[in-house]
Amino acid sequence: MNDYGKKDVFLPVVSLFTSAGTLVCCALPALLVSIGAGAVLAGVVSTAPWLVALSRYKLWLFVLAGVLLLVAGVFQWRARNKPCPVDAAQAKMCMRLRRINAWVYGFSVAIYLTGAFFAFVAPLWL
Give, in order, the Cα–Cα distances in Å from 123 to each of 107, 116, 118: 24, 11, 7
Q: What count of other Cβ atoms lies within 10 Å of the Cβ of residue 22?
A: 26
Query: pTM score, two decimals?
Result: 0.74
Q: What count of other Cβ atoms lies within 10 Å of the Cβ of residue 61?
A: 22
Alpha helices by DSSP H, listed for 1-126, are 3-22, 28-34, 38-47, 50-56, 58-78, 88-116, 122-125
- Inform me whether the pLDDT recorded for 2 exceeds 70: no
The domain limits of the chain are: 3-125
* pLDDT 10s digits, 93-120: 888 888 888 888 888 888 888 888 888 8
b/e sequence 91-124, b meaning 16+ C-beta within 10 Å: eebbeebbeebeebbeebbebbbbbbebbeeeee
- Inform me whether the pLDDT recorded for 37 exceeds 70: yes
- Range from 29-33, 48-52, 57-61, 78-82 carrying the lowest mean pLDDT: 29-33
Could you give the CA distance from residue 14 to residue 66 in angstroms, rounded to a whole number?
11
